Structure 1
Amino acid sequence: MSDSISGGTEANFAEVITGHADALHPEGFDWDPNRGAFLVSSTRHGTASIVDGSGRITPLVTDPDPRIVSTVGITVDLPRNRLLLGYHDLGIGARSTPETNLKESGMAVYDLTTGEEQFLVDLALGPEPMHAADRVALAEDGTAYVSDPAANKIYRVSVEGKAEVLVDSQALSPGWELGTGAGVIGIRVHPAGYLLAMHYSTGLLARVSADTGEVHQVELEGGPILGGDAFALRADGTMVVVSNKLANENGEDAVTVLSPVDGDWSAAKTVHHQPWAEQNPTDVLPTPHGDYVLSGRPEYLFRGETADDFVLRRI
């Protein structure tokens, strides 16, 4: 563990938390302050579960709508007591079908306390042949922004569930073509109100207007982060990025910390980089107990197998 990138107190939570469940395969996670625990998604089952500091798992969303094959990004909307889940079907979920594969795509809204479904938002928007809503970023007013690496889009969803395309295709990564890999995945709302989004295949980072969708590429002094899957914004203003080689042979299982050169993320420099101990990390999360990285064993699913464990490892 490196002190240079560790965040928060480490009391009561182990450095390595291993969860055991029947082929859960979480790809995203978030922190629930009310429970003092993690919430994780499930690529295999389309559910959501609570994970405490010892790795004990308690189901929260257990019987999802049939349209939800895989849950991916997961975001706690504490002021409205809601849980937001990006869902899609990449053909590796237990309920995947030829009819839903890369077709069913959206955001599900649940009661944070009970796990009861409130409504679904269809995000298979536009003429693209494939859709796969993924990560969910939340603004203070409850507006959600959802990435779609299959269509290479960012959607904007109101509190009431009205959805629209905010950013389309080429603007996010010039020169990238649909069908050549995964598009934008990682997305966050900066405290200043704009979005930051990372393109998985090209490793480019973009600053996006939450109002107009105007895109500006962030100059990365250390070069693109190929296979950059997800990132977190820390209280000190830095960004922690996890990358992998799950769908990018040029990627690296690693953690990289970026710092804005001028404070407004028009340019950024790498201030720390380390290979990661677990294979294919897919998400990173600051918590009161430190910054944790999730490795949900996705490589098993892509080769037609399953695993019954996943790891949360503190940076």
Structure 2
Amino acid sequence: MLEGDESMKILARPIHLTSAATWNKVSNPKTQLSKPHHANSLIQSLPYFIHHRRRRPPPLPPNFNSDNQSPRRKLPRHQFPITKLYPESLAWDPSKQHFLVGSLCHRTISSISDAGIIETLISDTSLPENVTVVGITVDTRNNRVLAVIHAVKPLPPFNALAAYDLKSGNRLFLSPLPTDEEALANNVAVDYNGNAYVTNSIGNYIWKVNVKGEASIFSKSPRFTEHPVDRDTPYSYIELNGIAYVSSGDYLLVVQSNTGKVFKVDADDGTARHVLLNEDLTRPDGVVFRRDGVVLGVSPQANKLWLLKSNNGWREGVVYDKIDLESS
């Protein structure tokens, strides 16, 4: 998940999940801070666009439908040199004005400046080799970065949330996520009180981890399983995926990859409802709530970025713009 501010920076296309990982519960990590360095290889699939001021989205036309959407347009595009990090997601750290990325191949969380300078902020060398750092988010109020950890088959199953202090890099907790069945911990959002919400992408439910690191299953709403799934389509096994917290209403917005649906989930009791849209998204992966009220959804499989708006607190919404993302 990525959170914006006055100098809004939005992820336009996340990196594909490509590597296996292993996991075992370990003791407190050793951390390592490295000097900034310029990398020498280019990740082609990490574009983003920049809003230097808050921009109010256009008003919705009467009787809005997909034919009314605004013209597709080119956005400012930036590509950063990155050496073998293979990040699955990124987060924006407003205190330092840079991106943070995890790694599918290394036990690290790194920063990326606007100039493309890469710096390893956290190197958790006590974690097992090949650990997969999946979704990450920044908890600005508590000065933490939260990272989802997952072990990919055929390695022993493990799903956890790790919290690190942004200043020192020390690990604050490592919380295994409870499950009695196969699970894929994927993306994470954090609320104003420091509670984290993690999606299970092959279990159709959401975990909650409080600020002390205590984990529980938060929402197993029947709304998550009431829509049909075409099992012949790519990635049909990926269910709940991207997640964003909306502080103004104390709720979560969650996208479901294999149905293209968006759900609004109450952050207090976990009740969910389907957000009615003028069109379904195509294999959505990530979702961002922008401070001007616009929601952005992204799909690396469909190479699409969608801009959505709602006038009634996300009981209903519309896709008012779609942008084709280039792969190079």
TM-score (norm 1): 0.75
Aligned counterpart, 1:241: 297
Distance in 2 separating the partners of 1:81 and 1:136? 16
- In the alignment, the residues of structure 1 paired with residue 215 and residue 133 of structure 2 have an alpha-carbon distance, to the nearest angstrom, of 19
Query: Does the aligned pair in 2 maintain the 1:17–1:53 contact within 8 Å?
Result: no
Q: 2:193 aligns with which of 129, 132, 141?
A: 141
Alignment correspondent of 2:52: 9
Q: Which residue of 2 aligns with 1:127?
A: 180
Tell which deviates more after alignment, 196-205 or 33-42.
33-42
Q: Deviations over 1:81-135 (max 9, x none)?
A: 11100111235xxxxxx342xx111110111112221210101x2322x222111
Could you tell me which residue of structure 2 aligns to residue 73 of structure 1? 135
Contact 1:87 1:132 in 2 (8 A): no
Superposed, 1:182-193 pairs within 5 Å as 182-191=238-247, 192-193=249-250
Would the aligned equivalents of 1:17 and 1:54 in 2 still touch at CA under 8 Å? no
Q: Tell me the distance in 2 between the aligned counterparts of 1:105 and 1:183.
A: 16
The equivalent position to 1:258 in structure 2, one of 302, 308, 314, is 308
Tell whether the 8 Å contact from 1:41 to 1:48 is kept in structure 2 after alignment: yes
Whichever residue aligns with residue 256 of structure 1, its letter is: W
1:253-310 Cα offsets, whole Å, 9 max, x none, are 11010111x331011111100110127xxxxxxxxxxxxxxxxxxxxxxxxxxxxxxx
Aligned structure 1 segments of 4 or more residues deviating by more than 6 angstroms: none
Q: Which runs of 5+ in 2 are unaligned?
A: 1-47, 54-75
**Structure-2 separation of matches of 1:82 and 1:16:** 27
Kindly report which structure 2 residues correspond to 1:162-173, keeping only aligned pairs within 5 A, or say none.
162-168=214-220, 170-173=222-225
Asked if 1:31 is matched to 2:31, the reply is no
- TM superposition shift of 1:33: 1.9
The 5-angstrom pairing of residues 1-315 of structure 1 reads 8-9=51-52, 15-21=77-83, 23-66=84-127, 69-91=131-153, 98-100=154-156, 103-123=157-177, 125-128=178-181, 130-168=182-220, 170-175=222-227, 180-191=236-247, 192-221=249-278, 223-245=279-301, 252-260=302-310, 262-278=311-327
Equivalent residues of 1:19, 1:51 under 8 A apart: no
Inter-partner Cα distance in structure 1 for 2:139 and 2:132: 20
Partner-residue secondary structure (3-state), 1:16: coil
Contact 2:227-2:259 at 8 Å conserved across structures: no
- Output the CA distance in 2 between the equivalents of 1:230 and 1:236: 18
The answer as to whether partners of 2:187 and 2:242 remain within 8 angstroms in 1 is yes
Between the two proteins, what is the percent identity of the paired residues?
Answer: 29
Residue 142 of structure 1: SS of its match in structure 2?
A: coil
Query: Over alpha carbons, which structure has the higher Rg?
Result: 2
Q: Which residue of 1 aligns with 2:16?
A: none
Instruction: Figure out how many residues of one structure are paired with residues of the other and give that number.
Output: 253
- TM superposition shift of 1:225: 0.7
Residue 61 of structure 2 corresponds to none
Query: Which one has a larger percent strand, Structure 1 or Structure 2?
Result: 1
Contact map agreement 1:133 1:148 (CA 8 A) in 2? yes
- What's the C-alpha RMSD, in Å, of the aligned pairs? 2.3
Amino acid at match of 1:121: S
Deviations 1:134-178 (A, max 9, x none): 111111011111111022210111100111111127432414579
Q: TM-score, normalised by structure 2?
A: 0.72
Q: Distance in 1 between matches of 2:179 and 2:313?
A: 31
Aligned to 1:286: none
Q: CA 1:111 to 1:226, structure 2 compared with 1: closer, same or farther past 3 Å?
A: same
